[in-house]
Amino acid sequence: MVRLAMLIFEIVGTISFAISGAMVAIHKHMDALGVTILGLTTATGGGILRDLLIGVTPPQAFRDPLYAIIAIVTAIITFIPVVRRSFDLHERQLNQILLLMDTLGLGIFTVVGVAAAHEAIPDASLFLTLFVSTVTGVGGGVLRDIMAGTTPFIFVKHFYACAVLIGALICELLWNPFGYVTAMTVGAVVVMILRMLAAHYRWELPRA
């Protein structure tokens, strides 16, 4: 059942992050291949890094092509002229859509990371679980931003990683008392709410 819950969460997160990556690529005026690769990388990058960290090799993205196929198809659909023109919006509107997609993917992949840590290492420490969930949540976005030539969100945007850590911690605390479905749902929602509130109210960590 944990695997089924992870599958559902991962599919939704994959679509969200693929759209996010594709839209960044379109905004950077990349060609169809660039849009596809950036969408694929954003959607699967965090999961690949996670699996390498917890010793799941080859990573799930390579053993089961479902996620890669979903990401590629999503990116291609996003690149279709009719769809692409719908993203030809003012900068503020584009940023809002990117924020929404990125937030959705971030929340989902954070709790998927918690579930993956539990599945691979049943007696995983809290530190390991939080680290794995953070990598799962932000890894794809970091790779996306680096490949797009921009500073990764995690370093500059509204305590991006802090929202992940808080959501992952809540998910972990709820895991045994309330079950994995409740824990994953609440953890993901917490990440999304904190991320949106931080963006709206411009909550930020101290800067150098």
> How many structural domains are present in the chain?
1
Question: Looking at the domain assignment, is residue 175 inside a domain?
Answer: yes
The range of the structural domain enclosing residue 185 comes to 2-201
Question: Looking at the domain assignment, is residue 100 inside a domain?
Answer: yes
What pTM value is reported for the model? 0.88
Question: Looking at the domain assignment, is residue 130 inside a domain?
Answer: yes
158 pLDDT more than 70: no
Question: Looking at the domain assignment, is residue 48 inside a domain?
Answer: yes
Question: Looking at the domain assignment, is residue 156 inside a domain?
Answer: yes
Token pair, residue 114, equals: 């918690």
Is residue 22 very low, low, confident or very high in pLDDT (cuts 50, 70, 90)?
A: very high
Measured on CA atoms in the order 68, 65, 164, 50, is the torsion positive or negative? negative
CA distance 118 to 125: 10
pLDDT (mean) for 181-208: 88
7 pLDDT more than 90: no
Question: Looking at the domain assignment, is residue 26 inside a domain?
Answer: yes
pLDDT (mean) for 140-165: 87
pLDDT in tens, 84-116: 777 665 656 777 887 888 889 899 999 999 999
Question: Looking at the domain assignment, is residue 29 inside a domain?
Answer: yes
Q: Is 167 exposed, middle or buried (0-12, 13-18, 19+ CB in 10 A)?
A: buried
Mean pLDDT for the chain overall: 89
Question: Looking at the domain assignment, is residue 187 inside a domain?
Answer: yes
